[in-house]
Amino acid sequence: MAEHVNTQPVRVVIVEDDAMFVDALKARLKRAEGIEVVASAQDGTAGLDLVAQHRPDVLLLDLGLPGMSGDEVAQRVVTSFPDVAVLVLTGYPDFNRAKTLMDQGVRGFLLKTLFGERLDAAVRAVARGQRVMLSAP
């Protein structure tokens, strides 16, 4: 008997205030098989609205956002949309903050410098319910 394979793409919303980095993320994820970026926002409030609208599998979230902080967005998504896996992308290796966020329900923490192939794997892993913390090459 053949094993059932889920053919639905992992749907991703990106919330990141750096437009050039968003473009780089979109380009990277567009090349990744089975991952689809459905929307992006550059501030926390708009990002939270997009999560409510699209109900993605994964929220790729920067912490340093204008308006509502990434920490607050993460807490609200974990509470209000528990089926959405939050994967934090940050430029700052603050492991105490990462541990706090993961204790609160965030599924992954990834440094922006590692957003190549590791990003694809991290998106897929958190979408499957796994926890990911990548901090070094």
Interval 102-124: pLDDT, tens: 999 999 998 887 767 688 899 99
Supply the pLDDT for residue 98. 85
User: What are the distances in angstroms from CA 13 to CA 6, 10, 45, 52?
Assistant: 20, 10, 13, 11
Supply the pLDDT for residue 93. 77
What is the percent of the chain with per-residue pLDDT over 90, rounded to a whole number?
67
Which domains, and CATH codes, for the chain? 10-134 (3.40.50.2300)
Section 63-72 average pLDDT: 91
Supply the pLDDT for residue 3. 44
Q: Quick one: residue 35, left, alpha or beta (phi over 0 = left, psi -120 to 50 = alpha)?
A: beta
Interior angle at CA 30, CA 25 and CA 33, nearest 5: 125
Section 21-49 average pLDDT: 94
Residue 33, both tokens: 């098989």
- Give the residue with greater pLDDT, 5 vs 131: 131
Confidence of residue 29 (pLDDT cuts 50, 70, 90): very high
Supply the pLDDT for residue 1. 44
User: In sequence order, what E strands does 16-93 have?
Assistant: 35-41, 58-62, 85-90
Is the pLDDT at 55 greater than 50, yes or no?
A: yes
